[in-house]
Homo-oligomer: A and B are copies of this chain.
Amino acid sequence: MSLAPLLKPNSIAIIGASSTPTRVGGIPLHLLKDAGFKNLYPVNPKNTEIAGIPCYPDIESIQKPVDLVLLAISANDTLPYLERCHAVGVKAAVVFAAGFAETNEPEGIALQDELTAFAKRTGMRISGPNCMGNANFVDGIFTTFGTSFRPGDPAGNVALLTQSGNMCASMYRMARREGVAFSHVINTGNEADVEFSDYLNFLADDPDTTAVLCYIEALRNGPRFLEAAAAFKAKGKLLAVYKVGTSEKGADAAASHTAALAGNNKAYEAAFTQGGVARAHELSTLTDLAYLHGFGARIKGSASAIISVSGAGGAILADALSLYNADVPEFPEAVKAKLRESIPAYGMVANPVDVTGNLVNNNDFLFDAMKLAVDPENIDVIIAYLPGYFLDRAIPQLERLANSTDKSIVVIDTFAVADRAAVEKLGIAYFDDFDRAARAIAIYGAWRKEEVTGVESLAAKATWPELPAGEGALSEAQAKHVLEQFGVPVVEDAVTQTVEEARAAAERIGYPLVLKLVSPDVAHKTEYGVIKLGLKSADEVAEAFEDVMAKAKALPNVRIEGITLEPMLAGGVELLVGVTKDPVFGWMLTVGLGGVWTELMKDVSHRLLPVNEVGALEMLRSLKGFGLMDGFRGQPKADVESAARAIAALSVAALATEPRVREIEVNPLLVLPQGQGAVAVDALVIFDEVADAAQ
């Protein structure tokens, strides 16, 4: 059901309305009154009138349509009153009260479950509980007890969506200090009914909103967030997020605060990247993204031309842009030559351009230089470092520039004394700090540039066999067999039960060979001596068979399903490819080079499923150790295309599992020299007793 009654109500009742303007039941009443909201009904049996507005003893007495109720009553009184509101046709509610799941106590959790069930049953849309409420600046509707939002504040087209009341107030004030104005400000609270992505979907459709700033502690539904992100991307609206909990301590604190499943940081990172979300790592950057977005329609990327009155300023900006992965492209020779006609030897023409302090006072020259710098095709944005009076004097040239280019212009004034308003009036963004400007331009430009191509999940060509009861793992042979059905190439193997079978299979496969125990109960075969490498003859195979069988029989509680023989492949690069289940986002794929690369260097790439061949190839290329597959030191290039196909096949297999499967790992996926393919040498499938609740 639409969130309009919640966020754009025509009529509001305040249950527990208070005449004291600083109380939870008084603040929204006074805000709404000051904002001139018409159909406002205070409810409190102790009053007949509050602040000049008629007050009702209960919801039933109002006798007019009520879209939304604000509940300024205790947690225990909430549900009974909501039932009464539902009975008279109220469509939405904001529950301010704490005392629900955030208490981490059984009683509060049960109360919240009841609230969720009520919302599902009745269709009433409920904001909170344990929330500070919302503010709609476009329509002047203040359904909050927050004191940071004022009816006099200007409306803008940025929305603020936060999972913390305090951060809601902080972010609002921080952004206001930079001149950012808002359409909606929303504090989600415990999200018992309306959850984070519901608000996002509303804002994606809201014509008054072109950008959303999110403060996130924990998402309750990853896939829905990604759907909402896709809607934002499709409409060219900015979805910018700050996600707390990137450190262990921070994650603990956020989890404790939110009482939601934390999820894996890597999964969030993958989701934000794959979802085309602009991610800020500081609240100030989140603010700056919104500010830049106000001027941002022209910014197509982050490749920057730098014009500076000081060599130092140019160098500092070039450093900062590079740090945040924004390009500072070299100008074409013709542009450099043209600039050099006026700029002396001690100024720079390459990019950054140092026009030198002397020349900036030459009106025509500054314009010409900026025009030369902004025009090359590989430039997305021009950044002019013009501190203080340099900027004030350059307003006419900047105006000419703004009128003669459709690219974006940003100015930096570290003196912080120039006429900022005069600059902004020209559609030019103003910063007083190099680092913040560079960071915002880099992130914003990258977001603008990024194409999020939908990754269709390939149709599965096979189905999974029924899993045994209880928790456990498939044997290596079973696991490889299943994956092979889904298109993952696996090493040819033969499962044997007797020495004679083993001898015969060995002669058929050829040497050298690997011989291994087949058992669902032994994951690490080397530790137990039940794997033998490099066997070169039938006699060696026979001896190894006897030895492994004897060792396996000596292990307690180990089921022996046979002994397998495989060719021992030489050369190639070993990959680790695995999927694990994130409680928020579902299947996450991890790809890395084996051994020290993964264990010591943490050189791995993560993506959420589905991942197709193109995505798998990008993951491989993003590894620092990719060079090992790319002809390092004259070694043959590895067959990365085949590796990517195998990884995509694993993705298909994972998505086709039943919910009890928790993890699939291929280790190693041996990537042979180009043209020779890639094969899964070992595989592991782990499953739980029952399906994960988060599924």
Interface string of A135-149 (1 = CB under 8 A from B): 000000000000010
Contact A319 B244 (CB under 8 A): yes
Chain copies in the assembled complex: 2
Q: Which of A310-318, A421-429, A463-471 contacts B (4 or more CB under 8 A)?
A: A310-318
Query: 1/0 per residue A355-398: CB within 8 Å of B?
Result: 00100000000000000000000000000000100000000000
Q: How long is the Cα–Cα vector from A632 to B598 in the complex, in angstroms? A: 12
Query: Which among A102, A316, A321 has the highest number of chain B CB atoms within 10 Å?
Result: A316
Are A282's CB and B166's CB within 8 A? no
Of the candidates B104, B166, B177, B315, which one forms a contact with A217 in the assembled complex, judged by CB atoms under 8 Å apart? Answer: B315
Chain A: number of interface residues, binned into ranges:
35 or more
Indicate whether A253 sits within 8 Å of B354 (C-beta atoms), given known contacts A311-B164, A415-B169, A627-B596.
yes
List residues of A (607-641) whose CB comes within 8 Å of B's CBs: 624-625, 627-628, 632-633
- If the complex has contacts A322-B247, A346-B104, A414-B174, are A257 and B354 also in contact, measured as CB distance less than 8 A? yes
Q: Which residues of the other chain, B, contact A601 by a CB distance below 8 angstroms? A: 601, 603, 624-625
Chain B: CB-nearest residue to A415: B173
A627 partner, pick from B256, B313, B436, B600, beta carbons under 8 A:
B600
B387, A315: Cβ atoms under 8 Å?
no
Interface of A is mostly: helix
Are B632 and A167 neighbours in the complex by a CB distance under 8 Å? no
Question: Which residues of A from 405 to 460 have beta carbons under 8 Å from B?
Answer: 414-417, 433-436
| A252 on the B face (CB < 8 A) | yes
Contact, CB under 8 Å: B166 / A319? no
Residues B249 and A352 in contact, CB atoms below 8 Å apart:
yes
Complex interface: chain B residues within 8 A of A571 (CB): none
A223 contacts which chain B residues (CB < 8 A)? none
Q: Does A341 contact B (CB under 8 A)?
A: no
Q: A247-B318, A256-B348, A284-B435 are in contact. List 18 more A-B contacts (CB 8 A).
A: A164-B311, A166-B357, A244-B315, A245-B315, A247-B321, A249-B351, A252-B318, A253-B315, A254-B311, A254-B315, A256-B311, A257-B311, A282-B320, A283-B435, A284-B433, A600-B624, A601-B601, A601-B603
> 9 A-B pairs, CB-CB below 8 angstroms?
A163-B312, A166-B309, A173-B415, A246-B323, A253-B348, A257-B311, A282-B433, A283-B316, A596-B628
